[in-house]
Amino acid sequence: MMISEKAKQHVESCRFCWMCHHICPIGNATGHERSTPRARALGISLVNRNAIELSEIIDNIYECAGCGACVHDCTTAWDPVMFTKEVRLQAALEDQLPAYINTLVDNCLTTGNAYGKTELCESLTAAIKAHAEPTDTLLYLGVDARTMACKQALKAIKVLEKAGVAFTVLLDEPASGAQLDFLIGAAEETKEQMQTVANVMNHYKTVVCYDPADAKTVKQTFGEYGIELTCKAVTYTAFLAELLRSGALKAENKGKTVVFQDPFQLSRDLGETEEAREVIAAFATLEEMHLNREETVWAGNILMAQYLPEVMKLVAERRIFNAKSLAKKAIVTASVSEYTSLKNVAQNEIEILSLDDLILD
């Protein structure tokens, strides 16, 4: 298996190290040692030594959420996410992807989203058409909101309307490449998808990324892959915070007490932790989860639920349990994917809210 020497060095360093053993959300949810970064490194090292075939561990390679908790917790700077992405790319190049991943990749290439959706809900289509005129600001909704959580996409549009923002939404919005990057890493198909959307975004002065996964891709991964942006890309949370500061978005604090579920893409990847808190504190009384900001614990996503639905349920249940153990009653999210994951848990003790739910009330 052809992976970089850097990746091999990280694999060899991680395979017998237990430093991040306690922090992996997948390992904690399943209780399986094989789900941890250490076990993943051990399996990859065995493939590198020709002791086993890649096919024997490829399912395990796709258990990694890429949340970076292991990387953040490592005091010696090893990076299991990096070598996991390299192995996924190599598996794609060697035609060794699992059938369920091939389906998701094919969907990304043919429909622009991993779910194979070709139509938007009628209400979202109408709302998008109402903002079809070109402006300086593009609201980039992302594939999860558009295809799997259209009610949340609608609320994002309503929030910007409430603030009196002149903005454009695209009916035929190109994919950011975030899903392909997760599934097969830095493949040419991934970079081509990123370049296509960058060409569209560069027609605007400001692009507001609603989904943190897209924000990370546009603001960080594009640069790593040599994709040039001439527009200003901002997160939805940062954009809302600025609207509050300017007075365009009016706030009324109704006294609801909530905790914030930090998306790892914002807190760990982009170093943004306070903007969402600024927004939440304007509309509610903000308290904290035990693990927050850069220490956040991932709460699941829509994409991995396509092939690990029970595991995603366990991941979300554990995060809800974290809130219950602190006697909290409401969790606010800034990630449409984590919002959907948490909402899919059947329970009635913890209210799950998006930022938009809190603002629109």
The CATH code for residues 251-360 is: 3.40.50
Res 201 pLDDT > 90: yes
Convert the pLDDT of each residue in 274-288 to its tens digit. Answer: 999 999 999 999 999
Burial class of residue 228, CB neighbours in 10 A (0-12, 13-18, 19+): exposed
Quick one: CATH architecture of 122-241? Answer: 3-Layer(aba) Sandwich (3.40)
H helix intervals, 163-307: 178-184, 188-201, 212-216, 222-224, 236-246, 264, 274-283
Convert the pLDDT of each residue in 221-271 to its tens digit. Answer: 999 999 999 999 999 999 999 999 999 999 999 899 999 999 999 999 999
Cα distance between residue 43 and residue 56, in whole Å: 9
> Taking the CA atoms of the chain, what radius of gyration do you get in angstroms?
20
2 pLDDT band (50/70/90 cuts)? Answer: confident
Helix (H, G, I), strand (E, B) or coil at 234: strand
Identity of residue 153 = A
In percent, the amount of the chain with pLDDT more than 70 equals 100
Find the distance separating the first CA and the last CA of the chain, reported in whole Å. Answer: 53
Same fold, 122-241 and 251-360: yes
214 pLDDT band (50/70/90 cuts)? Answer: very high
7 pLDDT band (50/70/90 cuts)? Answer: confident
Helix (H, G, I), strand (E, B) or coil at 174: coil
The structure's pTM equals 0.96
Cα distance between residue 280 and residue 40, in whole Å: 38
Among the ranges given (30-34, 116-120, 342-346), the one the predictor scored with the smallest mean pLDDT: 30-34
- Give the pLDDT mean for 152-162: 98
The distance between the two most distant Cα atoms of the chain, rounded to a whole number of Å, is 63
> Both tokens of residue 37?
């970064």
Q: What is the DSSP letter of 353?
A: E
Domain boundaries defined on the chain:
5-97, 122-241, 251-360
